[in-house]
Structure 1
């Protein structure tokens, strides 16, 4: 099935620099859902809000103390030889106390926001990971791994930064700007008109320069994606590059991509770097104009020195929060866009399971009846509740039948057309045919990775739609063409097929799969640690471990999807006996391009365009001299 190509877009400038932000589509909805997580820390939030207000207002109030200090103490002391400084010292002490309260409040809300942000991120990651386990295989077939991983990395990281720093600083800056502006109006409405004029210029500068910066950062991120993709592709394909001596061409292409990235990064960082100096210089111009206007008003008798001193300090502390508000707003919007993508993942429809037939351990009593037991007996049974309240037990034998099954991954295109087949208990059924004929799709349907819209699949006479998916899959074991090994010991990787398997059972399974020999030669034997999907093993050895993993599960039905594709002919012959032992008494479905592996199958199904065009054992199909004969004799090759 063709997978949808999804382009991953990373947010954030290199080195934590300014970002080309993406706005969320539904800001209010996303914010409400995010607040549900945050409101789990209600007491923390109350303290944080009080602390933010206290921190912001302490800075505003502390500046106002300059007016009484100058008017009541500094000016009257001019010309006095021995002024009484007691009142001045008390006022300085009160002013210091206000600032100290602000420092304590600032520390408090920053520390508590860290607790909230890390706790919220933990809860969101847990919810995402749990939800991923409940999503159908179709979701993973239509979304790239990079796209899914970006939810756990880029999006959660920007969200964490917003919660721990951006949001509290945004609120603090907003309160500070509001408080400073109110105090400016109180101190001098006339000078505040100048503030409004300069404020308009600052907003215009932020909009123009910030817009340019955002545009080029988006371009930089696009070029960075191409840059990283090219490097990854060239590293993975180094053997091919060297075989065809294309090193120089690769270097030229790299230089071209690298230059595009340099130009985009240069433009982005140029605009980002000049914003703060421009805002700083505008604030100095504002300060100079305010000082000049204040001096004129003071000379004219409309303003005292204390008011001018406080007002000038407010002027200095007014422009910085405005710049911070602009940058933090971008940060908040970027984080909310990431949160929206996270919630979109959480809104994906989970895998539906309406099954009610379960798999239980059983034993046969003296009267020949199947009895459910709580311990492992080696006998499994389907526990089937009926509408009249009765229960029936059916021993699991591995009888699988397809009846008029039609299926397509896309509603507009069918992959299987009216498939009818049966596999009796203990039979080995092989599927051969060209790529895309529908071989793997059949095994996906047996597992209920996808549900059948037309027709039905019976397992021991029970429609598999009635069987709970977990129980159905426990009765099956698969060995896939692409082996996946987890980080851990060889023993743990084999035991993944049956988590309660003893060491002896694991070793026996490895012997059946003929993996025991090479495992013994590993540095730590079964305790050898595997990393990076078993990079320290050959492809054949990895496949043998996958077969051992299926063996230890001891299921009644076994699915081998190109299970020996990565094993050389010699290794294949070595495991043939073990595989034959493994397949005894089990229903086995085999998909293979190597036709020599299916000669001993009870029935071979030849598929083409989603239909079974030939069926029979090896000898029958050879006599028919049809498609299988052509494939086997090399007159027609599988593709």
Structure 2
């Protein structure tokens, strides 16, 4: 069904499908990576002196008791107490075995408690490490991946390791100890009978190894399909207004059905392959039981073993297949963990394109003098965004970047903030190559206000304070007053404590932009970048902001990117860009006098206004 739907949508050349079905997440055929598994288990290391020793101790106590009880029942209760009709000894044994089971119960209770605490702490540490690492990755990383696929790694892939850490590892050790103990005891009790009942093991081992590759690949496919499903869900929720505007709800639902079906089919396939192991163990158990009854009875009749030994064998044989069955489940957990850990470590091993040097310097008192020295930059090999740009932005100047879409305006702003590094050339601030400086030191001195501003869930006070968490309430309110945001905030029922919800949906576009102005200005930057920052603000509000900016930009270097040329008339220097090259620069009067590209841009905008 999914393939039919995919094929049908492909014929329609759905843009969603073209983008969505060629992700970076692909199944990779690799052998089981024990080095990677050891790396994963390394997250237990911080707890090797706390929860882990206690869990292993009570696990050993419980396992030893389980191994001792069948011997007591077979060799002592049956062959001694019952055979000799010793009621006193039988009573003591019943009480003793009952106490052993009580101790085993308490040991298991503490084991479950401690391994769950251990597992939850490891998952917490792993998710925290992954999130912190992703926060530090360069913009180039996010350019190539959807938000949904990143969320899958941090949420689903980390969650899939939970069962391994909370139960799998300790159960694996417990079952291995149990199996080794049972095999040793069986051979001590009766080597011929032990060989007979364990003859099925080599066949079982051979078949199980044949299943590994298919099962592991199946769980890889599950992770990939979950990533695709989450990516589509995230994209659909983010773009719901566009979907409804173009009445594409039905097609979006059909596409989701295809993705959801793919997810269902891959998970069903993985579960089906994983389920093969259980019935196979049951069949092995049945064969072993038949061998025990037929061959064991002959040994009893020929008086080669006693009845108590036969009973102990029956106990141990039942116990033997139980850990083997669990080992199959644990192996499935390992396969799931391997598929998830590959994807997690792929992110953790990702290095920022923008790297901070080990001996990086720190801006102690940034002035804001910016120099581009023959800077060239490409987002990819086929598209050069800047062609050996050389320019200077002096401390305290307001510099405007103008030009058509794709001329390189936002690229220059991105390079100043060092979201990307130049392909060649140097960007300097106060005479220092910004690649030699600490990233935090650089970015704390720069505030950016975008056209599509982002408002976080929380209160208005928290949003304004985002760039400077230590700011007082009075400083937050003062920043809001300066940019004219206090006027609408004061009218809200809870004022600055109003919850703005996800992406600030309760606010208008202009109100969100005013909050972003207040946020940027509260951070007290040396460099202020306004990237189409007044595009969503009405004319009346824009006038207020322009007045405020005259005071706020004093002593700061400001870079203004604007299509609305009326907002940059007062700029000290206007740089006109075209296809990544500087065509001309100067103030408004100088450029108008030249009657060049800037003159044509201004003229065309006024003609458009006149036409309206």
Residue 503 of structure 2 aligns to a residue in which SS?
coil
Give the conservation status (yes or no) of the 8 Å contact 2:149–2:228.
Answer: no
Residue 26 (structure 2) pairs with residue 31 (structure 1): no
Q: Counterpart in 2 of 1:547? A: 517
How far off its partner does 1:307 sit?
1.3
Q: In structure 2, what is the equivalent of residue 374 of structure 1?
A: none
Contact 2:356 2:437 in 1 (8 A): no
* Counterpart-to-counterpart distance in 2, 1:418 and 1:21: 40
Partner of 2:482: 512
Residue aligned with 2:504, SS = coil
The counterpart of 2:60, out of the listed 29, 48, 53, is 53
Verify the 8 A CA contact 2:24 2:145 in the aligned structure 1.
no
User: Are the aligned partners of 2:219 and 2:336 in contact in 1 as well (CA < 8 Å)?
Assistant: no
TM value normalised by structure 1: 0.80
Equivalent residue number for residue 42 of structure 1: 49
Q: For the Cα contact (< 8 Å) 2:200–2:288, is it kept in 1?
A: yes
Relative to structure 1, is the Cα distance of residues 221 and 348 closer, same or farther in structure 2, using a 3 angstrom cutoff?
A: closer
Determine the C-alpha separation between the residues in 2 that align with 1:336 and 1:257: 24
* Residue of structure 2 in register with 1:419 after alignment: 389
Cα distance in 2 for partners of 1:627, 1:73 equals 108
Q: Is 1:356–2:326 an aligned residue pair?
A: no
Secondary structure of 1:563 counterpart: coil
Does the residue aligned with 1:197 lie in a helix, a strand or coil?
coil
Which residue of 2 is the match for residue 439 of structure 1? 409
Q: Residue 74 in 1 paired to residue 76 in 2?
A: no
State whether structure 2 residue 528 is matched by structure 1 residue 528: no
**Alignment equivalent of 1:400, drawn from 370, 378, 397:** 370
Q: TM-score, normalised by structure 2?
A: 0.83
Question: CA distance change for structure 1 residues 32 and 546 in 2, over 3 Å: closer, same or farther?
Answer: closer
Are the equivalent residues in 2 in contact too, given 1:24–1:340 (CA < 8 A)?
no
* Alignment partner of 2:552 out of 579, 582, 607: 582
Kindly indicate whether the alpha-carbon contact (under 8 Å) linking 2:58 and 2:110 is maintained by their aligned counterparts in 1.
yes
Match runs of 1:147-166 below 5 Å: 147-166=149-168
Contact 2:483/2:518 (<8 A) preserved? yes
23 and 57 in structure 1: CA distance in 2 versus 1, 3 angstrom threshold: farther
Residue 188 of structure 1, aligned match among 190, 193, 197: 190
Instruction: State whether residues 206 and 323 of structure 1, in contact with CA within 8 Å, keep that contact through their aligned partners in structure 2.
Output: no
Q: CA deviation at 1:321?
A: 1.0
Name the CA shift for 1:525/1:281 in 2 (closer, same or farther; >3 Å): same
5 Å matches for 1:114-513?
Answer: 114-132=116-134, 134-142=136-144, 144-203=146-205, 206-207=208-209, 216-273=218-275, 275-336=277-338, 338-339=340-341, 341-343=343-345, 345-349=347-351, 351-353=355-357, 354-356=359-361, 358-359=363-364, 381=365, 396=367, 398-409=368-379, 414-452=384-422, 454-461=424-431, 463-464=433-434, 468-513=438-483
Shift of 1:162: 1.7
Conserved 8 A contact 1:431-1:604: yes
Q: State the shift of 1:85 in Å.
A: 0.7
Worse overlay, 594-603 or 143-152 = 143-152
Give aligned pairs, total.
584
Cα distance in structure 2, aligned partners of 1:139 and 1:72? 72
How far residue 319 of structure 1 moved from its aligned partner, in angstroms, is 1.3
Structure 2 CA distance for partners of 1:253 and 1:449, relative to 1, 3 Å: closer
Structure 2 spans left out of the alignment, 5+ residues: 1-18
The CA deviation at 1:328 is 0.7
Provide the rounded CA distance (Å) in 1 between the counterparts of 2:427 and 2:247: 53
1:463/1:34 CA distance change after superposition, 3 Å: same
- After superposition, the C-alpha distances for 1:284-332 in whole angstroms (9 at most, x for unaligned) are 3431332122122222322221111111121111112112112212323
Q: 1:474 to 1:602 in 2, by over 3 A?
A: same
Greater Cα offset, 120-129 or 290-299: 120-129
Equivalences for residues 597-608 of structure 1 within 5 A = 597-608=567-578
Which residue in 1 is equivalent to 2:507?
537
* C-alpha separation in 1, matches of 2:234 and 2:441: 40
Residue range with higher mean Cα deviation, 588-597 or 201-210 = 201-210
Alpha carbons of 1:631 and 1:532: their partners in 2 closer, same or farther (altered >3 Å)? same
How far apart, in 2, do the equivalents of 1:418 and 1:633 lie? 29
Residues 148 and 227 in structure 2, CA contact (< 8 A), matched pair in contact too: no
Q: CA deviation at 1:560?
A: 0.5
Deviation string, structure 1 residues 532-570 (Cα, Å, up to 9, x no partner): 232222222111100111222333432101212333445
- Partners of 2:74 and 2:430 lie apart in 1 by 91
How far, CA to CA, are the matches of 2:361 and 2:233 in structure 1?
50
1:260-289: CA deviation from partner (whole Å, max 9, x where unpaired)? 444444444445456434533442343133
Classify 1:153/1:237 alpha carbon distance in 2 versus 1 (closer, same or farther; 3 Å). closer
Query: What secondary structure does 2:390 align onto?
Result: strand
CA deviation profile, 1:320-377 (whole Å, cap 9, x unmatched): 2112112212323433554455555455557414443532xxxxxxxxxxxxxxxxxx
Structure 1: state its 5+ residue gaps.
10-19, 78-83, 360-380, 383-395
Tell me, in whole angstroms, the C-alpha distance in 1 between the residues paired with 2:183 and 2:115.
27
Q: Is the 8 A contact 2:198 2:288 kept in 1?
A: no
Structure 1 residue 165: Cα displacement? 0.6
Judged with a 3 Å threshold, the aligned counterparts in structure 2 of structure 1 residues 153 and 612 are, in CA distance, closer, same or farther, namely same
Distance 1:596 1:532 in 2: 33
Q: Hey, what's the Cα distance between the residues in 2 that align with 1:458 and 1:204? A: 64
2-structure distance, mates of 1:141, 1:629: 35
**Structure 2 residue aligned with 1:368:** none
Structure having the larger proportion of residues in helix: 2
Alignment of 1:593 onto 2:563 = yes
CA contact (8 A) 2:400 2:568 kept: yes
Name the SS of the counterpart of 1:65 in structure 2.
helix
Match in the other structure for 1:558: 528
Q: Distance in 2 between matches of 1:255 and 1:470?
A: 44
